[in-house]
């Protein structure tokens, strides 16, 4: 199948991929643009995983302030080099993270940051709720696990659905940005302020 320049241009506009990468993905997908987008995404995540062990010693602190002046957030995001830290795409990424923190109000960065007593209390509440409905023990366990995962996706930043793309978590957004910028990065901390 022959891949046209307009197909390559469309895929590039949707993904930000390079010309040769877009053409190769379209060839692999047989000209199917949605399938090519998925292929590029998978390759990007694989690249991000390879970069995960690299040291992140540069970065920036970025602030977002809502137009009302009553809501804002600050994030600390690390990357490998000061060149990337000054890059417009990295600054935009930091702004998107700060905007998300303002809107979604996460309480913890990663699941491991949630204190054990809070996790135990949530689990206990869900378990009692299911026991009151006289559910079998094995069913209760599965339902509680599902409810806990849902709860984590509400309070843990890295597990929250990204406000600009609900199909992607913040973790996925970070990995896709790592793939596009070609450098390891991580969200180090965040704070949300409101009146």
Identify whether residues 182 and 98 lie together within a single domain. Answer: yes
* Distance from C-alpha of 82 to C-alpha of 85, rounded to nearest angstrom: 5
Identify whether residues 10 and 79 lie together within a single domain. Answer: no
Identify whether residues 141 and 177 lie together within a single domain. Answer: no
Here the CATH number for the domain that contains residue 19 is 1.10.8.10
Identify whether residues 91 and 62 lie together within a single domain. Answer: yes
pTM, entire model? 0.71
Identify whether residues 162 and 91 lie together within a single domain. Answer: yes
Per-residue pLDDT of the chain (195 residues; tens, 9 = 90+): 678 888 877 777 666 666 677 788 888 888 888 888 787 776 665 455 555 566 667 899 999 999 999 999 999 999 988 888 899 999 999 999 999 999 999 999 999 999 999 999 999 999 888 888 888 888 888 998 999 999 999 999 999 999 998 888 999 899 888 888 888 889 999 999 999
- Residues 162, 168 contacting (CB under 8 angstroms): yes
- Residues 140, 148 contacting (CB under 8 angstroms): no
Here the CATH number for the domain that contains residue 80 is 3.30.479.20
Helical H runs in the chain? 5-15, 19-28, 33-51, 82-85, 88-104, 116-131, 137-155, 170-181
Identify whether residues 78 and 172 lie together within a single domain. Answer: yes
Q: How do beta strands 71-79 and 161-162 pair?
A: unpaired
Name the residue range of residue 126's domain.
Answer: 115-155
Identify whether residues 101 and 183 lie together within a single domain. Answer: yes
How many structural domains does the chain have? Answer: 3
């Amino acid at each position: 199948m022959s891949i046209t320049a307009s197909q390559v241009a469309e895929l590039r506009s949707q993904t930000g991929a390079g010309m040769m990468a877009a053409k190769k993905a379209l060839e692999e997908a047989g000209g199917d643009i949605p399938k090519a987008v998925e292929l590029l995404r998978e390759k990007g995540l694989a690249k991000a995983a390879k970069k995960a062990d690299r040291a992140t010693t540069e970065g920036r602190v970025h602030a977002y302030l809502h137009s009302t002046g009553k809501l804002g957030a600050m994030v600390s995001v690390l990357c490998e080099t000061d060149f990337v830290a000054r890059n417009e795409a990295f600054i935009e990424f930091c702004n998107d993270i700060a905007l998300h923190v303002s809107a979604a109000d996460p309480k913890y960065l990663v699941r491991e940051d949630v204190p054990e007593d809070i996790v135990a209390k949530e689990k206990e509440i869900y378990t009692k709720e299911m026991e009151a409905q006289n559910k079998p023990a094995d069913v209760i366990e599965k339902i509680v696990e599902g409810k806990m995962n849902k709860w984590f996706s509400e309070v843990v930043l890295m597990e929250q659905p990204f406000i600009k793309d609900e199909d992607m978590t913040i973790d996925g957004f970070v990995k896709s940005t790592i793939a596009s910028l070609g450098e390891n990065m991580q969200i180090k901390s965040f704070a949300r302020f409101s009146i």
